[in-house]
Amino acid sequence: MIKRIAVAFTLAIACMAPAAASEIDLAVEHAEVIRLPGDASAVVVGNPSIADAIVHDGRTLILTGRLQGRTNVIALDRIGRVIYSREIVVSNPVSGQVALFRGADRFTHSCGDVCEEIPRVGDEQGHVEGLTDQQRNRLSIAEQAMAGDAGGSPQ
């Protein structure tokens, strides 16, 4: 009887190990390169607001974390066979970040040599909108400058 229990316990542990290994832990706003076992013709993400996946070439998949949460990714070959299927857990990394609270309002900073404000889900909404507008304006200025350089005019 004890031997049967030990065998059942060993089988249960062996069956659980692949499930844990099949998860990909991904940080918000970070990417990971996955090498596929065959050429993919389609990739499906269960919840694209949590993670994004693109096929770089037939055998290279690039996953990007968008928002905290859990989803899955499936890659199919030309005839519709599943060649890759994994669970994705996207989390918000806390190393190098500081959250400041003013009453109930949260303000997030990313810190390296200096700390700079970054908008994060859950931060005070008016402040996030202001930071987002500033970033949008900076990107617009950079795009205009690049368009000007594309004209080939010497400076």
User: Quick check: is 154 in a domain?
Assistant: no
Q: What is the pLDDT of residue 154?
A: 52
141 in a domain, yes or no?
A: yes
- Domain of 50? 22-91
Q: Are 87 and 26 contained in the same domain?
A: yes
| Claim to verify: residue 26 and residue 77 sit in the same structural domain | yes
User: Is the domain of 36 the same as that of 57?
Assistant: yes
Query: How long a stretch of residues is the chain?
Result: 155
pLDDT score for 7? 45
- Specify the pLDDT at position 44: 95
Number of domains in the chain: 2
Residue 15 lies in a domain: no
Last residue of some domain: 70, 91, 112?
91
Tokens of 81: 């066979």
What pLDDT is recorded for position 85? 96
Q: E strands within the chain?
A: 23-27, 31-35, 42-45, 51-57, 60-65, 69-76, 82-91, 97-102, 105-111, 115-117
Last residue of a domain, one of 55, 71, 91: 91
For each of the chain's 155 residues, which pLDDT tens digit applies?
555 554 444 444 444 434 445 899 998 888 999 999 999 999 999 999 999 999 988 899 999 998 889 999 999 999 999 999 999 999 877 777 888 888 888 888 888 888 888 777 777 888 778 877 887 888 888 888 888 766 555 54
Structure tokens at 78: 């030309």
Residue-level pLDDT at 90: 93
Torsion angle defined by CA atoms of residues 55, 136, 69 and 35, in that order, rounded to the nearest 10 degrees: 20
Domain match, 124 and 139 both: yes
Sign for the pseudo-dihedral over CA of 147, 148, 153, 154: negative
**Domain CATH code at residue 32:** 2.60.40.1380
